[in-house]
Amino acid sequence: MDKLKEECGVFGAYSINNNNVNNYIYMGLMSLQHRGQESAGIAICDTSGPLGNICHHKDMGLVNEVFDQEILENLSGNLGVGHVRYSTSGASNAVNAQPLVMKYYKGTLAMAHNGNIINADNLKHELEKEGSIFHTTTDSEVIACLLAKNRTKVSCVEEAIQIVASQIIGGYALIITSPRKLIGVRDPLGLKPLCLGKKDDCYFLSSESCAIKSIGGEFIRDIEPGEIITITKDSINSDYSLVSEKRAHCIFEYIYFSRLDSVIDGISVYDARINGGRALAKSYPVEADLVTGVPDSGLAAAIGYSKESDIPFSLVFHKNTYVGRTFIQPTQEERETAVKTKLSILDAAVKGKRIVLIDDSIVRGTTIASLIKHLKEAGAKEVHVRISSPPFLYPCYYGTDVPSSSELIAHKYTTDEIRKHIGADSLGYMKIEDFDQMTGDLPLCKACFCNDYPL
C-alpha cells in the first residue's frame, strides 16, 4: 500500500535466574512485526555458560517465516536480543539482517538497532582510514566498530557506549548484549521509542510496550531520551550523562507506526488517535450519515471523529488479511484491482450514504483515490476525507522511509487540488496546532511537516 515505513523493532530479554528467554523474544518480535517485515533475527546466550558463546539466527522474511520450532529451540539462553527490520539505510539483503553478532576485544556482543545515524558515512570513512573493514552497509556495523575501538580505551562497555553515543547523531534505539549485560540506549531527542518491562525474574527492553504486554509482562517505564540503561544479574544502572533538555518525539509513532495498544512516553497510542479524530471533527465538521476509517490505521481516529460528531461509526471495508507480501500483482489489470482485492467495499453499508472517511496520511494519494472511486461506484453519495496528520512535505533523516519529494502529492498540489485529484467532496488535514489535543505538551519532531529539523 501507499504508506510510510518504519525502520525496525528491537526487543531484548534477560532472565536473572537463567531461564530460557527464546520464547519471550520470539513472541515479543511477533508483536513488533508491524515495525518491520523485511527480515527478522534473534541472538541469544547463556550467561552461566562460557563467556561469549552467542548463537543466533536471522534471515529475510517475517518472524514466523524465519523461525520454526526447531530453530527456536536451538536458540537457547537467558540473555538475548531480537530484531525486525524494514531497511532504510543499508540495502535489502540477508547480510544486513540484525542482530549484528561480533567478536571483539572483550568477548562477543550482539546488537539490535532501530533508527538512522545521520553522520554514519563520515564516521565510517574515518574508521576505514584507520583500517577498519565492513561486511555490511548498515549503520549498525559502524556503531559496532566504534564500540570495539573505544572499548579498548576504557574500563567497561557502558563507558564505551557513552563515548560512542556522544559521537553518533540521529534517532536511534539500541539494545546490546555484552556477555553478561543487557544494555539499552535511546537517542537524546527521544525520536525513537524504547521501554523497560519485567515478568517474574526476567527484564525486557522493547521498542513498544505492546510487546511486553503481549507476553504477560509488566510495563515499568520508558527509557529516558539520552539514557543508557544497563541490566546485570545484580543491578539496573542508568547513565544520564547524555540526557539533554531538548526533546523531539516522532509524532508518527502516535499517528501510524506504533501499535494501538502501546503506550509511548506516557501517552496511549489509542487515546492519541481517538483524540486526533476528535480534533478533526472539531476542525472539519460535516453533515454525514456515517464515519469510517481506512483499515486498520484509520479506524481509531474514525471512532474519535464519531464520538465527537455523533455521526455513527460504521464498517465500510472488508480487508482481506490473506493478501500478503507475496501476493502476485495482476499484470493485465490496472493497479486498482489490487486495491480491490485487499480492501473490498461493503455495498450494503454504503449505498446512498454520505461518508466521512478517515485515514492517517496521504503519501502519493493513489490508494485513497481508488477507495473513493470504489465507494462512489458502490453508491456513496458523498465522501468527505479527513486525514489525521498534516500534509507530508519534507524528508525524514531519522529513520523513516519517505518517498522522494517528487512523489509526495502534498509537495506538488494544494489541499484543494489534492481533494479534486482524489475525488473527495471535502478534505481536511490535521492542523499542526492541534497536535496538543493528541499528545498534550509532549515535545515533538514535526520536521516532515514544517521543515524544522531538531538536529
Of 12-71, which residues contact a second copy (CB under 8 A)? 20, 23, 26-27, 30-31, 33-34, 37, 62-65, 67-69
Nearer Cβ to a second copy (122/337) = 337
Answer yes or no: are the C-beta atoms of 428 and 385 closer than 8 Å.
yes
Binding span for a second copy by CB under 8 A among 143-151, 233-241, 281-289, 357-365: 143-151
Is residue 155 a contact residue for a second copy (CB under 8 A)? no
Shortest CB 10 distance to a second copy, Å: 17
- Per-residue binding letters, 171-210, with a second copy (x by CB under 8 A): ---------------------------------------x
Positions in 362-421 near a second copy (CB under 8 A): none
Selection from 81, 84, 247, 241 nearest residue 165 by Cα: 241
Selection from 222, 178, 224 nearest residue 197 by Cα: 222
**Dihedrals φ, ψ of 195, to 5°?**
-140, 170
Nearest-angstrom CA–CA distance, 1 and 284: 26
Q: Which three cell numbers stand for residue 323?
A: 493478501
Shortest CB 244 distance to a second copy, Å: 28
Kindly give the pairing relationship between strand 107-117 and strand 100-104. antiparallel
- Per-residue binding letters, 97-136, with a second copy (x by CB under 8 A): ----xxxxx----------------------xxxxxxxx-
Tell me how far apart the 2 most distant CA atoms of the chain are, in Å: 73
Q: Figure out which of the listed residues 50, 234, 235, 328 binds a second copy, where binding follows CB under 8 A.
A: 328
> 131 — alpha (psi -120 to 50), left (phi > 0) or beta?
left
Answer yes or no: are the C-beta atoms of 170 and 115 closer than 8 Å.
yes
Is residue 349 a contact residue for a second copy (CB under 8 A)? yes
If you compute the radius of gyration of the chain from its CA atoms, what whole number of angstroms results? 23
Nearest-angstrom CA–CA distance, 384 and 107: 59
Catalytic-residue membership of 448: no
**Dihedrals φ, ψ of 228, to 5°?**
-115, 115
Shortest CB 129 distance to a second copy, Å: 6
Shortest CB 315 distance to a second copy, Å: 6
Binding span for a second copy by CB under 8 A among 180-188, 222-230, 236-244, 346-354: 346-354
Nearer Cβ to a second copy (97/362) = 97
Q: Figure out which of the listed residues 341, 425, 431, 453 binds a second copy, where binding follows CB under 8 A.
A: 341
How does DSSP classify residue 327?
P
CA 303 to each of CA 190, 311, 345, 359, 421: distance values in angstroms, whole numbers, following the listed order: 29, 10, 19, 12, 26
Nearer Cβ to a second copy (283/341) = 341
Nearer Cβ to a second copy (241/320) = 320
Shortest CB 370 distance to a second copy, Å: 12
Is residue 436 a contact residue for a second copy (CB under 8 A)? no
Is residue 215 a contact residue for a second copy (CB under 8 A)? yes
Contacts of 201 (CB under 8 A, 6+ apart): 15, 16, 17, 19
Which residues are known catalytic residues?
8
